[in-house]
Amino acid sequence: MSTEAADEKLVGKAQQGDQRAFGTLYSQYGRVIYSIIRHMIGNDEAAADLTQETFIRAWRSLPRLQEPKAFGGWLRMIALNLTRDWLRADRPTQPLDGENDEEMPRQWADDGAGPADQLETSEQQRQVTEAIQRLNEDQRLVIVMHHLEGKPVAEIGEDLGIPVGTVLSRLARGREALRIKLAPYVEE
């Protein structure tokens, strides 16, 4: 059975109130939704909250979903709309350069690299994350979906309801913007 068919069956059960089926859908999509939101906003705690809110809204709206096979794209659109609202909200910003003493430093797995290498890798990851977050919303979304989530261009177009050419254009512009923003950090 294809993933889409399996999802369709689970969605049908969930639409009838089956919480276990919805729990299975959460298990399948939770990390993907969190990853998209996290890369869009750059805040782990808020991304977890928005992921939870995405699934709460999905559960409440599920009876109105007319095409169960479109569940994945529909769920991503709920997440995207919540993320847009979060980004537009007026809130104090946190420093991105680690000046916040209350925040614990991120721990990376020991790959055998020395402290200098780890610091350089950490700094590069921070620069890439910041550069992605500075992209306009349309470019950021397709970059995250394609390069970080690994979705094919056609599927992104289908999920977002836009032509493949538009996805390709946004990817090209986003990549170019990232190339320019990250040029000072890339050795030639």
Q: Which class does domain 1-88 fall in? A: mainly alpha
Q: What is the per-residue pLDDT for 100?
A: 46
- Mean pLDDT, the chain, rounded, equals 80
CB 33 within 8 A of CB 78: no
Domain ranges of the chain: 1-88, 116-188
Q: Is 90 exceeded by the pLDDT of residue 51?
A: yes
Q: Is 70 exceeded by the pLDDT of residue 42?
A: yes
Count CB neighbours of 4 within 10 A: 13
Residue that has been written with the tokens 């946004």 in this structure: 170
Structure tokens at 122: 């950490």
3-state secondary structure 22-54: HHHHHHHHHHHHHHHHHHHHCCHHHHHHHHHHH
Rg (alpha carbons) of the chain, rounded to whole number: 19
CA 179, CA 177: separation in Å to the nearest integer? 5
The CATH code belonging to domain 116-188 is: 1.10.10.10
CA 21, CA 18: separation in Å to the nearest integer? 5
Query: Which stretch of DSSP H or E encloses residue 16?
Result: none
Percent of the chain at pLDDT exceeding 70 = 78
CA 105, CA 36: separation in Å to the nearest integer? 22
Say which residues have a Cβ less than 8 Å from residue 73's Cβ, sequence separation at least 6: 158, 159, 160, 161
Q: Could you read off the pLDDT of 84-129 as tens digits, one per residue?
A: 888 888 655 554 444 444 444 444 344 454 555 555 556 677 778 7
Q: Could you read off the pLDDT of 152-183 as tens digits, one per residue?
A: 999 888 878 889 999 999 999 999 998 888 88
CA 89, CA 97: separation in Å to the nearest integer? 22
CA 82, CA 76: separation in Å to the nearest integer? 10
Model pTM score: 0.62
